[in-house]
């Protein structure tokens, strides 16, 4: 039995290539049709056979044939690498919280509002967008400022409300102010919602990175 395997799967270098190629076709077919694992294990088995055959060729001094077999063995891994690359961003997705030192600059960048430094973070969450194929994520942030800082905040908002801005505009609502961002080049990649609740001394930012 060993001699038969040696003769037809190792010595005859083209047979392992043929079997490996056939197993790849079987794997692709099973993945598309009934989603079984038979094709996957077949690829692993004949891939190992092809690797052993390549090593055997090197020992026999048939360097060119050995490199040919290894090159064919590497093809599906290269294809897999190209397929996985678009999803690499998902592995580097933001997860956790927005750094404390980034909160003030981010709000100012989006709304021109300079918030007080003495605030309490009530909610701070960064989540990867479910089902996204790249590094899309969303930020949910709620902070509470001191009552003594409200006058400065409202004065800034009323001042900015009188000025034209490419970023957006301030609008009054029952409990405070909403900042409605403009749907332009500045905000298109990161649409957001920001409000200042003067009744409860809170600010809320919801941002989506697309």
Q: What own/partner pairs with CB < 8 Å and gap ≥ 24 does 66-74 have? A: 68/13, 68/17, 69/13, 69/16, 69/17, 72/17, 72/20, 72/21, 73/20, 73/47
Average pLDDT over residues 167-178: 92
Residue 129 DSSP label: P
Region of residue 123 (left: phi > 0; alpha: psi -120 to 50; beta: else): beta
pLDDT tens readout for residues 133-158? 556 889 999 999 999 999 999 999 99
| pLDDT tens for each residue of 91-120 | 444 557 888 899 999 999 999 999 998 999
């Amino acid at each position: 039995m060993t001699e038969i395997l040696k003769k037809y799967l190792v010595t005859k270098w083209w047979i392992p290539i043929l079997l490996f190629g056939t197993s790849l076709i079987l794997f692709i077919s099973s993945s598309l049709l009934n989603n079984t694992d038979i094709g996957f294990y077949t690829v692993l088995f004949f891939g190992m056979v092809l690797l052993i055959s390549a090593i055997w060729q090197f020992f026999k001094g048939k360097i060119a044939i050995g490199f040919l077999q290894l090159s064919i063995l590497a093809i599906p891994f290269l294809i897999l690498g190209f397929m996985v690359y678009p999803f690499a961003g998902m592995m580097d997705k933001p997860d956790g919280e927005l750094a404390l030192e980034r909160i003030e600059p981010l709000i100012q960048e989006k709304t021109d509002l300079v918030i007080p430094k003495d605030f309490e973070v009530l909610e701070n969450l960064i989540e990867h967008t479910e089902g996204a194929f790249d590094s899309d994520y969303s930020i949910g942030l709620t902070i509470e400022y001191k009552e003594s800082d409200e006058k400065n905040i409202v004065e800034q908002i009323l001042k900015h409300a009188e000025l034209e801005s490419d970023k957006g505009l301030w609008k009054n609502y029952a409990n405070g102010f909403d900042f409605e961002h403009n749907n332009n080049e500045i905000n298109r990649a990161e649409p957001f919602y920001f409000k200042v609740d003067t009744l409860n001394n809170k600010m809320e930012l919801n941002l989506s990175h697309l």
